[in-house]
Amino acid sequence: MRKAITLVGLAVLTSVALSATARAQETASVVTTPEPARHRRIEVGVAFLPMSLGSLTQTPGGFETTVDAKLAPGVSLQAGYEVLVPNGFVPGVVVGIAPQVIWDVQWKEAPQGLDIRKYREDDFMARVAVGWTLAETLRLYVEVLPGFSRLVPVGFDGRNASGFVIAGGFGAAMDLGDRMFANLGGGFQKGYQKLPSEDLNAKNGTEFVRITIGVGARF
Amino acid sequence: MDRMRTPLLTSLILLVSSAAASAANKVAQANPEPAPAGAPAASPPGTAAPAATPVTTTAAPPTTPGAATVIKDAGGPAPVIATPPESEPASITEVGLQRLPAYAYPEWELRGLKHGSLWLTFHGMQWPYMPSFTDGHRFVIGISGWGWVDNAYEKFKPWGETSSADADRLRYWKQQARMLLRITPTLALDRDYFIQGQVELVGTGDQTISRVDTGGADTDDLWLRVGKWRSWDLQIGRFEGWEVFHLGMGLDFNTFERIGAVGQGASVYQISFYGVTDNEFRPQGAAGNLAAHYYPFRYLRFEMLGTSGSLGQNPAYGVRPVAIFDVGWLKLKFATEYQNKRGLAPTDQTDVTSKGIGGAVQFVFDPHIEFGLNAAQGTVLAIDSSGRVSPTGSITRSSIGGFANISNANPRHTVLFGVGSMLTWTEDQNGIAPNPIDKVWLYQGFAAAQYVFHNAFYIKLVAGYSRGHWSIGSSDPRVEHDNEMYSLRLRTSFYF
């Protein structure tokens, strides 16, 4: 009985091995011409934004007070379309949107007699990026992100501050295969948020050094 | 007359020396494979082994008459080497001088993404791997090394209830450099067994501070090793134990981000990451290591490392076993350690015992992504010179961290991005009721980008962030303060 099972097993193994060989030969005998990679113009991505070296300006009691902000983590979603395809020295241009959320926007320490107030910052930003291909799979880019921002109080009663925000920076993106890419960048962001008229349009703005660590895909 | 004689003499000397050189060249051509071989007859596939340069030297002191080889008719058409009588000692020893070829850096299993931080680690494998490719002896002096130059900026931004906040509000701008020449004489007894030594000669770029502060004196490695390739070895001297905690592309040795947000004001409550590292790094002072390595399978490696000597002024000993399971895409590392330091004088009751345990798991998805996680915990029980427990020196320390590297896998323009984070926290035995202990934590993080030029020249930019928090229980109410550190560092390095 054991011998029979062994024989059957050997036969199965042999047939599998032979079929594998046959497939390999078939594959080897087919000559295919590689199709040129299709240029993908739509790109989407997600990025982690450690917002560092920041400051937060508030106006308690009518006195404008600017204090260092804690490092605030943020996340950005990006979607863009390549309106200009890079060609030689001509850079590529991507236009899109890049909304982002930043948590834990607060002073490091409060001036004497004041409390620390915590905010969440929602930025609705457009994005224009200009990129140069340095080498295959590697691009350098500069970007500008203008938009609208609001500071939402967290853990205390208060009104949202809102206003214009603009960010700019530079970075590098590298391809991870045909579709995926990763990018690493840095820049600066400044907000001109103000409280509503009920609060006398008092200044409530932020500014940060912005680090971008992201991944994305092209379609 | 003297003027005439001088050029004549010079011409004669030149003629004789060129003739001798010509003869030597012919002799070398006539013996293309001197024994012992200076280089393997054929490199293993996939390696680019530069040919070894055999250097012919006289073994006997030059003053010993008759011991040197005599070349007859050196200027003639057929120079002849007069071989010394067999009764005399061999007068010529041929030594292979070899820049370490690719196969000297073993990769039994995939080390990591090419040019990435894991790839630059050997995961316990025996290196430099310099076997004999015949059954005969082979003596080769391997040459390799690396150097780096860092330009770095660091800014501290402390806050909280501390008198040292203003003193700690510091900015540094520094250039540091380090060049290391690694010399590895290796006597391969046959294909398997070997005797090896290694010295790493170090040049230090920052001359304004003590060399000890930059991580060592004039040497890094200084060890001897005997063993069997891919099987076992015994190693003694000054060297590092096997790495367990892998930090990724940042937090390099002797850098700002490695220290983190620990300013000058934190001198009492120091904190630094713990990765089963008390006995891992090269010991400072008159101390050294003895290690046994065992490789039962290509994917399983063990190290039993012992340390003894004087750490600082204190007699000390320690032990650190490590196990590594490595199948390329998955690496598991585990270590534990014990170290004890005693007082030097009989009346000195100093007794510091540290213990720890830790592990790491690493994944490599070649050619694009690698990442890993680390965790370790240790304790220190410190008894001071008068026999009392030191409340601030007796601590429990824990670290957890991770890293991730991604590569474009482009062989000509290799670019890697890397990120990493680590959190360390300690608790000591200091404090008064109701604040029983001091608690300190330290976060360290970085993002890095690296470009590799000609497979040898690395350009790396590292942005670092660190925050430390001190909660000091020895006053009532508890004193709390923080420190932050931002750093930016550009490292250029050359591996050869």
Average pLDDT over residues A160-177: 95
Look up the CATH number of domain A42-218.
Answer: 2.40.160.20
Does the beta-carbon distance from A172 to B482 stay under 8 Å?
no
Supply the pLDDT for residue B490: 97
B contacts of A137 (beta carbons < 8 Å): 408-410, 413, 415
- Cα→Cα distances B241→A140, B134, B181, B245, B371, Å: 40, 31, 20, 12, 22
Does the beta-carbon distance from B413 to A53 stay under 8 Å?
no
Mean pLDDT, all residues of chain A: 86
> Greater confidence, A80 or B70?
A80
Q: What angle do CA B173, B179, B184 make, to 5 degrees?
A: 155
Supply the pLDDT for residue B183: 97
Residue of B157, B412, B467 lying closest to A68 (CB–CB): B157
Supply the pLDDT for residue B169: 84
| Distance in Å, alpha carbon of A51 to nearest chain B alpha carbon | 11
- Tokens 């030191």 correspond to B390
- Please report the ipTM that was assigned to this predicted complex: 0.79
For the cut 70, the answer to whether the pLDDT of residue A8 exceeds it is no
B contacts of A184 (beta carbons < 8 Å): 417, 447, 449
B contacts of A50 (beta carbons < 8 Å): 445, 465
Supply the pLDDT for residue B214: 52
Domain segments of chain A as ranges: 1-32, 42-218
For the cut 80, the answer to whether the pLDDT of residue B406 exceeds it is yes
Supply the pLDDT for residue B265: 66
Class of domain B138-495: mainly beta
Does the beta-carbon distance from B413 to A50 stay under 8 Å?
no
Q: Residue B413's closest chain A neighbor by CA?
A: A135
What residues contact residue A203 under an 8 Å CB cut-off, 6+ apart? Answer: A57, A58, A59, A64, A193, A194, A195
A18-32, B79-93, B161-175, B239-253, range with greatest mean pLDDT: B239-253
